[in-house]
Structure formats: C-alpha cells, structure tokens
Structure 1
C-alpha cells in the first residue's frame, strides 16, 4: 500500500527551437505521480507534413529522482530499431528508430512509450525531462527526411517535459506467485504460466538440474497473468524450472522448483528391410520355399506377387519372430521359372513402406544326367604347324581337345569354359608332315561329360610364310602397348597420346574399352598431336551436389536436394570433376531421410531411363508407360552427362509380372524365348531379366519367337 501526500509544486514544459519543420515532444508534458508507482510517458513526433524515415530521440533525466523500468515500442510508427538504451549513471535515454521507404508522415506519431518510476526517498520533487538537442547537430536528437540524398536533417524544435513525484511509504512487498503450470509440452519445448497478485514482469530460470543454467528473456510487461515459452529442449528429458516476477517498486518474487519432462520424438520413419531370401536359384523339383527378410525395428510385413500394391491392400502377411525376423511359406513352384515377390512393412507407429522390396529367385530345370551329343567333328585349316578342330553339340557345353602323335594323345588344349553348341579350337605348335590323333570333349551345365572317338589328320609340309601386314586398328580405338601404361587414340591413321587421367575422363573414355596390342602394331602409326580434353558443361544440380557415403558401404551418392543419385564408378566420379576428399560419411539413419532416385536423362536428350538394381538401364519409351509405374515421379529425374548414360548396359531381357515367359527386347519389339535351353544356349543370364507391367508389355510389338 502507498499513502500519497500531495504537494503543489510548480511544473513547466517549454519549446526549445521552433516549429518550422519537424518537432519532438513528450506526452504528457507535465504530471504528478506517486513515489514507487510506475507511470508511462510517450515520445511523439510531428513531421510537419513531410515524409521522414528515421529519428533519434536522446532524453536527459535525473537518475536520483526517476528510474526507467522499460521502453515499449508497441504501436510505434517506426518499425525498425537501431538503438535502445538507458545509460546510468549518465541519466540519458537513447532511442533510434526508422521505417522503410516511402517513410511516414504524421502530426502526432508515437515513437515509443517509456515506463518510469519515481523514487520514494526523493519525494516531493520535480524535474525536467529534456531532449538532448542542438539545431542541425545530427549526433544528438534528430529527424531525417526520406529522400535520395541519404536523409536530410529537419528537426527544428523539441518540447521538453517536467514531472513531479509526491511521496508516501515505499512498497517493499514482493508479488505473490500462484498457479504455476507447465503446459503445451513437446519434444523440444514447453510453456510456463503463472499468476501474481499485482502487476509485475516475467522471467523463468530452467535447466536439467536445480542449478538451472538457462533463463528466458525478461518480459518487462507489467501483468498479473504470465506466460513464457521454453524452446530448444532435448526430447525425453526432465527439466527443472522456477518463475520470477518483479513489481513496479522493484520487489522480486522467486517461485519454488518445479519439473516437467519433454516428450519423445515422434517416429515418422518406416522400417528398413534387408537380408531378403531366397536370392539365388533353387534346385529343380523344388515346389515350395520360405520367403524371409529382416527389419531394423519391430514391424509387421506383407507381400504380394504384384508390384505397386499399397501395404493396406496386401493380403499375405509374414510370420514374425522377435519383431524383426519375418518369414512366409510359399508353394506351387515349378521348374524353369523365375518368381518375384514385393514386400512392404509397417512399424508400431503406423509408418508403412511406400516402396517395394523385391525378393527374386528362380527354380532350376529338371536335373540333367545325359551328356551332350557330339557331331560334325572336323579338322580344317590344316597347315604345317596348326589345325582347327570344330564340332557341334545338341546342348550348350564347354570345349576341350586331347591330341598327340599316338592314340594315347599326351597333350590337351586349355578348357574353354564358355558354354556353346558350336565349338572351334585351334591346335598350334605342331610338327610339319606329321600324323596327329585327337578326340574332342564337351561337358554340359550339369557336368555331364561327352568324349568322342579317335580322329586323325596330317599336317602339311613346311612352307616359308609370306609376310603379312600388321593389323589395322579402327578409328576411335583405345590401345596401349603390352608392358606400357601409355594409352593412345587411333584416329585418321595416327596414334594420339592421351596425356592424363583428366583428359581420359573428360572425353568420356572407359578403361574397359582399352585394348592391349603388340608394340609393333603401334609402331606402324605416325605420332599425332596429344588428345585434349573436351569442354564438359556439368548439369548444375550435379555440379553443386553434396557427395555422401553411408558408413560401412562403398557406394558414393550425389545429394541433389533430398534426392540421392548413385555415382556408378570412379570414371563417372572423375568425369564430374568430384574430389574424393569431399565425400562426407553419414549414418544409415541420415541416409534414410533421403530418396534414392533411379530415373536419369542425358543432357540435350529427351530419353528417360530407369536404372535397375542389377545396373541395367531401361528406356521408358513414352509418357503413358512412365505414369503406369506409381513409383515414378517426374520431379525425380536427374539430368546427367551423356557419358554416364552410355556407361550403363541396356535391358534386353523382359518378362511380364507373374508370367514365366521371357522375351528378348530389341528396340520396341519383344520376341519370346521359347525354352530355357535356348535361353542358356545364347549365353543369357537370368539375373538380367527385369519385370515389366501390362501397360509396358502391350506397348511393344510382338516379334518372331526364338526357338
């Protein structure tokens, strides 16, 4: 309680300067106030019908009579603050504010509200609040025009003020704190609220111990209902806090210790699936198998024989052991067929995989116990020191010949492991005019061996060889001499040295295309000028990408926004002028925040390709097919250099989902490969077969069946 004693003391306010241009004033200009009780005055401006964009109000006051509790800018016509202070013991209030163009024009615009308190031990007293002002001095109180010259000074006068303090007994009682509550608690924040029995300011001490260590910014608003927000907290953590409020007389109340616990971070990540099986060929006669996979968290997994089915629509569910090991038994399998199942999982938080996890395997053909049938065994191209032996088999098999000057043979060729039905092996290092015995051997894929009867041929007598010209290399060939590391480009009957790895990579060359030749072959070519690097314009998205690698895994990715693009080999890495030291190592959890995109297109090329997990590129021939795969998104296409597109081998073997028939794809024509034997005879690989949907299948023309 404050008991007021009123005194009739003089109060006076005066204009300093003139009103020709802008003026500053304090409102009210006079007043009497009880000691120890907060009161407010406004700092105002009259721009005299001119547009201004900045003001400086410097106000002198007597610190032995008045205390400044706060400066409030609520409702200010100037929105930008560049100075705000109350200097003590000098006794000067400094306010600097501005507003963007075109400025502000006002006859009575508020700049700020100053909250003051008369000191109880000085009443009764009166004193002036005077602007620090000298006309034309921009280092003191000032008003500036919003003009192109950087601001013209236009303050011509100020109205000072005088305030009177009347006495009474000082307030020495701190506010009473009640209803302290922590609410709106999240994983990183909370709101603390409380009430006081008198108007006071607001602040909260907080931390993970009773020592606190952190506090909120002081809210100087004098209120009885208080609220402070805490942010930047750690999830699943207990925090201690206490509230503080100080009244207008400076009496501080500090609340007791309280606690709350932040919530855990919400799980928004679907399970990670790995270790799917079976992943290889099953033996012939297998009619059932167990699908299995592992997840990195407890989950329920389902599967379908059709790609792109939503988790909620899948009807087949895995049995789960221990939450992370999943298995399902399937039956009805038949020989010579490939099977693919698509798996999605959902964790306890309801996060389901949006993409398919594929489990693909094949069942081998019926066990073969019959050796190949040998036929058409012929010796040809017989000269003095060599001969060519050819034969055919009724199934794909390897090739080898035993030979010698007797039926005991004694020599044999190296085993040619490539499986084929037509076989050709050259015997060399023979003696002239000599009878040789030989027999051929072929073993099929099931290891059944066939050995022919004995055959003979006689080598020719020795004839001095006619010198043959050195072989000619095609333009564009990449070659190096045996035992030498220098690589040359053959162009226009010249050899051009490729002087560095940078030049090699910049021209889009591949080490797999470099042939090794005898030095005599290279010596026949005239030395041309060295190859220079072509200018490569790297797509900006990849040029500015962040390079990352998951800890423990070799794959390097370019991170474009939130999309991951796999860099398939060191040649492509160097082609983009990346540096290995710039590759960042991230965790599996960080990797899972991004999406690995499989869609690419070459610069200046309209063709879009899908890169399969087996490393083959799949041309998406039209927009209808692209949209028929729900996982395809136009925004996921990454533009790459043509050399990267050329790095991938194209898909040539396809099959319709849930259909065992395999087709050879040539351009936009599909030809059915009628049997597994034909498939194997042609040297095709089952791992190169990719599944397509009905829309894409129908888009290809039906070609002649291969049989």
Structure 2
C-alpha cells in the first residue's frame, strides 16, 4: 500500500477541491520519438535507444513516456536518466515488455528538443522488432498542465534483427603441375571462329539502384513543412529532420508504396532552422536518400484551422503513492508531480490499475 505525506495530501486535496470536474482540451503540438528510429542489430548484441521529446515550442513541466517492446526478441536491461532534461522522476522501470518513464522539471519547466531517458536492450532473436509509444503517454504544458502530446506525429523504433552472414575464408589453391610436352612440327589448319550474337538480358523489376529525385521542402504554415520527392519505382516514404546538418532527431513515416512522395511534417517552429533528408525503401529492401534540404517559403494552406475538440469531462482520480524520501520526491504518480511543479490546476488524468 502506498501513502502520501500529510503536506502533499493537503496540497492535492486543495487542488482537487478547486478543480472539481474539469474538461481537457488538447492542443497537440508536442512529439515523442526514439533514436535511432531504425537500425540493424545481431542476436547477442546490445544497443541503446534514446527517448526524446519535441515540445513544439511550448514550455512543459512533465513527461510520461510509456512504450511497448517485443520481449521475445528484445530484453531491456536498464534505464539511464543521467542526461535527462528532467530532474524529478515518478517512474523509471522496464519489465514484461513495457517501458514506464515519467517525471518532470520545476516551473518554468523546459522547451525544445530534449532527451528524456536512454534504454539499453540486448537482442535475443532474429526478426523485425517494433517499439511504439502507448496511448497513455503524455507531455504536460507548464502554464495549465494540459496534455499537448500528438500521438499521430510521434515516431517509433523499427529494428531489423538478423544473424550476421559469415564471411568465407579464402581457400588455398594449388598450382597446376607442369607437364612436359614434345612439340610436333605440323602446319596448323586455320579454323573459322563462329560469331556469337549477344542478346540483351532484360533487367528484373527491382534490380538496379533505387533513385530519389526532384526533392523539395516548403513551409506551408507556421508549424508545417511539406516535403516532396520522386523515385524511379514504388517505395515507401520517410522524412528525417533535425536542427543541425546531418543530425536527424525526428522521423515521419508513410509505409505506402508509391513513386510520388509527399509528407507534411507537423509541430515545427517557424523561427527554427531545420535540416531535412527524404528517404525511401522499395519492396526488395533497397534504400535511397535524397540530398539534405532546408525548407523555403511555399504556398500557404488555405483550409481553416479546426478548433480543438474538448475531451469528455472526467473527475480527477486519486491513486496510492509512496512517501517521498528526504533527498527526492521518490515514486509519486505523474499527476501529483505535475501539480507540485506546475503550480496550477490538475488537468492530466491517467487511469491504471496497480497490483502492488
């Protein structure tokens, strides 16, 4: 059974009393993603995956990153928060195919592209391992504790786990044994060498290099960049982008196969310089990338911006918690953490049964 100290209980009770029943309006501008977004690893190999947040220009004070991974292929061996932007943590655990990391930073919080944590994995088996964010993840805005996480724009990790192909060692070849021959003086009879006409061999559909051509990146709104390109055969669509040349922290993926590609990157800041690289992979697994781009001004989107739709009203729920230690807040739930460091009404709800 978990308990709250008297001081925290009084603070939480006052917050619940003042809030009553609240409505959550989600202005979803923040993204969660992992890096690397895709890679190739071998069984027995260990690798580290970083969990990142892009606040979309907002000041935030708390993040809950909940992810699922295939435990038959990957074993999570640890969580490292030494480089995290957050200093207070409610959860830091990996078990049973789940990663649960939540915490925050006192007001005014933080903004921009920041690291939340790094998780170390060991590869157990071959196949394709996909790591995704669960729907109960959250990014809370500092001013009003609203959840501004955009699930649709957030990335995932896709890792190709394969057995390395052994490189054959060169075998020694014995030199041919010389044979003595006695030359025979004879007049050779000239023979005609038949002319063989070479016929063209048709190239299979997926042979040859995959090409990315006619790339462009245009600002179409203050928070959107449209990236377009073409390929010489059908392939999927990937856009990697970041705020430094060659350093891509974000990825947007469209798995549909096409030769004309278009991806709209959401949640970007107009005053930030972005570096963008379009990529494609065909059905045979061949990949190609275009030159690095920087977006230029384009035609604005004329459609009106939809007004945010409020979610269903819900009453703030209390869960059991552990006494905070003298050195840190310890393992308290994200809603209380957000209320303490945000200093405002509690807007974020998370329902989960606890079997402790």
TM-score (normalizing by structure 1) = 0.19
Structure that is richer in strand per residue = 1
Higher relative contact order (CA 8 A, sep 6+): 2
Mark the structure with the bigger radius of gyration. 1
TM-score (normalizing by structure 2) = 0.37
